[in-house]
Homo-oligomer: A and B are copies of this chain.
Amino acid sequence: MSTIRDVSKLAGVSVATISRYLNQSGYVSKEAEETILAAIQKLNYKPNNIARSLAGKRTATIALLVPDILNPFFPEIARAAEDVASRLGYTLILCNTDYNPDKERNYIDVLINKRIDGIIISSYTIRPEQIYALEAENIPVVVIDNAWEDTPIVSITSANRTGGQMAAQHLLDSGCQKIAHICGPYHITAAKNRMLGYEDVCKQQEWFTPSLMVYGDFSVSGGYSAMRELYAKHPDIEGVFAGNDLMAAGAMKALHEFSVRIPDQVKVIGYDGIHMDMFYPELSTIAQPIYSIGERAMMYLDQMIKEHPLEKKNYLIDVQLIVNASSRSL
């Protein structure tokens, strides 16, 4: 493995000139350029990124901190972030925190020591202070799928409350009378906002009662249990809005076992828009543009790294109602 000094010797110019050539910084004459290029090719020289980072302060590495890459929401985020990252010349480090604040803290320390250039965080437990601590180390942060009001933090969330309203309204418009909601975990802002959206629309309906809202843990089995519980209490429900698609799938599975026909007897809508094309009847959902979220997170991060101006606030992303067979009016 040859070094810049080997090239310098072979080309007969100083290392500074080589460096200037490589980084297109400062002046380099035409002749110098040519001899350098020749030497580089002859030696098959590749600059050492480690040394580069040590001297130049940039590692061209960004980290993506997610609770669990197995949750289908996150591969899509990862895919988008990685696409943009690789286009911009960054490399992406993947970190699973397992919803565990200790692992999270630990990872943040490791990443600081690795001098990463920036970090995209998805966490429901992280505190704003931790983000300020990162920024104090000059590491820009973008938070996704979570936000705090009135804090100078760049975050990206989808319009959860509006989305919740859209879902409920859609079921209402489709003629459903008793609409239940399977809510995601209480401490997750996104879940809470979706529930608030549901309440906005349903609270004043004469059939409304709080027991139409049950909690699930955002998993298929959580949705399944929630649906069984719900059906035991309210066998006459006509619509179900699940806080995410996985729970919607679980709910449909339960309904299926009760021999409830979808969408004839009960219409179901989920939230997220993850790819579940294997599923039938195909699930209606409020689609978040997941890919765009990852993409924008990475782009905002790049802007911050390059010290371009960017307002530190929550960026809301629009959602879209997708009507499929699971809630289609006949």
Give A residues with C-beta under 8 Å from B. Answer: 1, 46-51, 53-54, 59, 61, 64, 68-70, 72, 74-76, 78-79, 82-83, 86, 91-96, 103, 107, 109-115, 137, 220-221, 246, 249-250, 252-253, 256, 275-280
Nearest-CB distance from A281 to chain B (Å)? Answer: 9
Nearest-CB distance from A41 to chain B (Å)? Answer: 14
- Are B220's CB and A277's CB within 8 A? yes
Kindly identify which residue among B1, B109, B115, B246 contacts A278, using a CB–CB cutoff of 8 Å: B246
* Chain B residues, Cβ within 8 Å of A96: 79, 82-83, 86
CA distance A261 to B68 in the complex (A): 36
Kindly identify which residue among B48, B68, B114 contacts A113, using a CB–CB cutoff of 8 Å: B48
| Smallest Cβ-Cβ distance to A112: which chain B residue | B46
CA distance A277 to B223 in the complex (A): 11
* Chain B residues, Cβ within 8 Å of A95: 82, 86, 91-92
* Chain B residues, Cβ within 8 Å of A137: 1
Nearest-CB distance from A230 to chain B (Å)? Answer: 17
Nearest-CB distance from A242 to chain B (Å)? Answer: 11
Nearest-CB distance from A72 to chain B (Å)? Answer: 7
| Smallest Cβ-Cβ distance to A138: which chain B residue | B1
CA distance A110 to B82 in the complex (A): 14
Q: Can you list 7 A-B pairs, Cβ within 8 angstroms, ordered by A? A: A47-B113, A48-B115, A75-B75, A79-B96, A91-B111, A93-B93, A94-B94
- Are B69's CB and A79's CB within 8 A? yes
- Are A68's CB and B59's CB within 8 A? no
- Are A49's CB and B113's CB within 8 A? yes
- Are B46's CB and A54's CB within 8 A? no
- Are A76's CB and B82's CB within 8 A? no
- Are A72's CB and B69's CB within 8 A? no
- Are B50's CB and A78's CB within 8 A? no
- Are B53's CB and A50's CB within 8 A? yes
CA distance A146 to B53 in the complex (A): 35
Kindly identify which residue among B59, B94, B103, B107 contacts A50, using a CB–CB cutoff of 8 Å: B59
The 4 closest A-B pairs by CB, nearest first: A249-B278, A94-B94, A220-B278, A69-B75
Kindly identify which residue among B46, B48, B82 contacts A69, using a CB–CB cutoff of 8 Å: B82
